[in-house]
Chain A
Amino acid sequence: MSELAIDVRGLKKSYGSFEAVKGVDLQVQVGEIFSLLGPNGAGKTTTVEILEGHRTRSAGEISVLGHDPGKSEKAYKERIGIVLQETGVNPYLTVAETIDQFRSYYPHPRPRDEILEVIGLQDKADARVKKLSGGQQRRLDVGVGLAGDPELLFLDEPTTGFDPSARRNAWSMITHLKELGKTVLLTTHYMDEAQNLADRVAIIVAGRIVAEGAPYSLMAERGGDTRVTFALPSGAPALPSDLGHDESGDRIVMSTAEPMRLLNRLTGWAIDNGVELEELSVARPSLEDIYLELTKDAEVNSA
């Protein structure tokens, strides 16, 4: 087993009588992109802020890069980078000055030009922060998090509010961090983001981790049936009754644990009858479907 960057056992956090985190275990390996997912109020932010050293814990053992974040040691802060949801940089400094300012806090900062390259803001080095677009500011936030050349980077919802192309750019930037050997703890509300970026994900609901693993193995384990969807042209003969189907608007939906077998029967029937299966699609349940299924009860409870 490779080295652990984050090792959390039995983490608990209470606010008065409210138990926000009810015993979380979490192991993140060095060099891994690990994504923590969960609805608002599930204990996700509390967990991350305890790891960052912003909050104290009520119980549990934590080792992050061999440090106890609760001690708020300078030596620990020198090895991590934190990108919060709030921007928190001075709007009147330039991009280069902002990065240099934060670099000056660390013993072994990453060269400024390298940071600008990673975040794709080389052309904006001399622009004032307040003149940047929302996406550019968010990239600068990540740049500031990288100032100390951290071994572990905390990214809190790095692409919230991005347009689709800005999100793709951010994703390639985060993938690039992995190539640099960084460990990344990512929180996000976008399941496709976690599915695309994360080596492993954990889903936290009501203070407990309810599912954990690589996105694709989670999808395989918990995904359930594959959905086959299509439309039949008018006047088509009736579908073979043993295939079973639901109708959703003008779409026919079939669920199966054996998609290959079903498709073989279905397409065989269609060709034999000269019927075109319009807009045929085959979809495995996405991480989002699994997430929605797992968090359904929590949403109902909190509503």
Chain B
Amino acid sequence: MSTAAMTLKQVRYENKAFWRNPASAFFTFVFPLMFLVIFNSLFKGTINIEISPEVFRKVNSNYFYVPAIGAFSVITATYVNLAISISFSRDMGTLKRIRGTPLPAGAYMLSRIVHAMFVCIILITIVVLAGIFFYDVDLPTEFLGGFILTVLVGGASFCALGLALTAIIPNADASPAIVNATVLPLQFISGIFIPLDNAPDWIVNISKFFPIYHLAQAMQGPFNPFDPEFKGNDLLIVAIWGVVGLALAVRFFTWEPRK
């Protein structure tokens, strides 16, 4: 059997197991929707969004929150999901066990990434559909291709970063705390939960260094009601982070439980 066929077969087992833990599957999908409802309700009305650097315009909050929570969903489905679940697989000995079989290590890792991407795509679809049906946001038809590319490249990059993060996670019990510590503060300062129009420069400068800000920007671009665009530069920065994450993961990833 070819490596590609083995990978696909492995994805099917991952997927089967994923849906058989309904509590976990349910909250993976409901969590971002909860945030969509909560933030849209808290900050209802008009908010300023960045049209171009330093230029803000008032828009209905929906136009901000649907893509922002979309970016949150990408991070949840890929980075958070993989870093935590891989840490558990490592502690349970699953990774070590796989390592002792002829299944190529790359095929196994790819199957985990492909499944995370699959979850990511379903989640984004749900968030965008919720935006269209409940929050009067238009499907970004003009830049739909760019939006899809953003989800795919962004998701893959955050998968790589999630795998890299497992190198500094000592054990599975610590993984949720470490993963949240790496994303939650950045999500607050990167224009995911709160728009950055009133943010001091130093906060924005910090957030611009990290990939979450740029993912949020790239997700916002096609949804911008005034001047929709595909934000290739922001996506490129996300992709560079992804490549760095991949290199770190390849170098530092371990298959054995830490003792």
Contact = CB atoms under 8 A, between A and B. Distances in A.
Contacts of B95: 88
B5 to A, nearest CB: 9
A176 to B, nearest CB: 22
A78 B101 CA distance: 7
Contacts of A104: 1, 6, 9-10
Range of interface residues on chain A? 20 to 34
A86 B93 contact: yes
A128 B17 CA distance: 10
A263 B100 CA distance: 54
A207 to B, nearest CB: 19
Given A54-B99, A87-B93, A101 B13 contact: yes
A128 B101 CA distance: 22
Interface in B1-58: 1, 6, 9-10, 13, 16-18, 20-21
Contact of A105 (B18, B21, B102): B102
Interface string A50-66: 00111000000000000
Given A93-B16, A104-B1, A86 B101 contact: no
A266 B99 CA distance: 61
B257 interface: yes
Given A93-B13, A97-B16, A74 B102 contact: yes
Interface residues of B, number: 25
A106 interface: yes
Interface in A59-116: 74, 77-78, 80, 82, 84-93, 97, 101-102, 104-107
A292 to B, nearest CB: 27
Interface in A98-154: 101-102, 104-107, 128, 144, 148
Contacts of B99: 54
B94 A54 contact: no
Given A102-B101, A105-B102, A88 B16 contact: no
Contact of A92 (B1, B6, B17): B17
B197 interface: no
A53 B100 contact: yes
B145 interface: no
Given A74-B102, A77-B102, A88 B96 contact: yes
Contacts of A77: 100-102
Contacts of A54: 96, 99-100, 256
Nearest to A147: B101
B104 interface: yes
Contacts of B1: 104
A52 B256 CA distance: 13
B184 interface: no
Contacts of A102: 101
Nearest to A52: B100
A93 B92 contact: no
A105 B104 CA distance: 9
Contacts of B21: 92
B102 A128 contact: no
B100 A82 contact: yes
A64 B256 CA distance: 22
B103 A105 contact: yes
A78 B102 CA distance: 6
A280 B9 CA distance: 63
B97 interface: yes
Nearest to B24: A92
A87 B97 CA distance: 8
Nearest to B93: A86
A87 B92 CA distance: 7
Q: Looking at B10, B94, B96, which has the most chain A CB atoms within 10 Å of its CB? A: B96
B92 A88 contact: yes
B72 to A, nearest CB: 26
Contacts of A128: 20
Contacts of A90: 13, 17, 94
Contact of A88 (B9, B18, B97, B103): B97
A97 B15 CA distance: 13
Contacts of B13: 90, 93, 97, 101
A171 B194 CA distance: 63
A76 to B, nearest CB: 9
13 contacts: A54-B96, A77-B101, A80-B100, A84-B93, A88-B94, A90-B94, A92-B18, A104-B9, A104-B10, A105-B102, A106-B101, A106-B102, A148-B102
Interface of B: 1, 6, 9-10, 13, 16-18, 20-21, 92-104, 256-257
The 4 A-B residue pairs whose C-beta atoms are closest, nearest first, are A86-B93, A88-B93, A88-B97, A92-B20
Given A54-B256, A101-B9, 6 more contacts: A77-B102, A82-B97, A87-B92, A93-B13, A104-B1, A105-B6
